[in-house]
Structure 1
Amino acid sequence: MTRLGFIITLLGFICFACNSSHQQEQKQEQEEHSKGALFIIGGGSRPAELVERMINESGLREGGYAVVLPMSSSLPDSAIIWSSEQ
């Protein structure tokens, strides 16, 4: 192997090693910031246990929040009214 080939190969390994550690840092950072839960619920009534779990996981009692996306209803505001009644 020529000297130039050796240097190019060495630089390739160094670049790969640096990029690999950078990706690990990004993954750790992303895991630290990933919080929350997603509840996908069909139409109809919701069991009390499910509503309680959503409240606990969202932290509503401690100032947290929840978002309701009424996408499948023909009357979008009815989903909001139904959710707030529960």
Structure 2
Amino acid sequence: KEPLPPDSPLLDPEIADRCRVFHHFASGARITRLDVDPEKGMAGRCVQGLIDVLEGNYGGDPTKMPYVVNKEAFVKSSGTPNAQRPTPNIQ
């Protein structure tokens, strides 16, 4: 799990000569971060996830949307996806 906690044994100065810790290089690449294609870049995935939610794609169920992360946040503790609950009429 990233980031490593400050007390991680991997960050122990005693093993610094044998263990090097680097950030995930692929995540730092320009294409990975900024490409608008959701198959390549996080920016594109973020935008496509938002579009899917706003347009109600995948039946309006965020748990089925490929670019929505933390899908568990969209499921009520009863196990019912938020998308299946009635929504208030807001004008």
- Fold equivalence (TM over 0.5): no
Normalised to the residue count of structure 2, the TM-score between the two structures is: 0.26
TM-score for the superposition, normalised by structure 1:
0.28
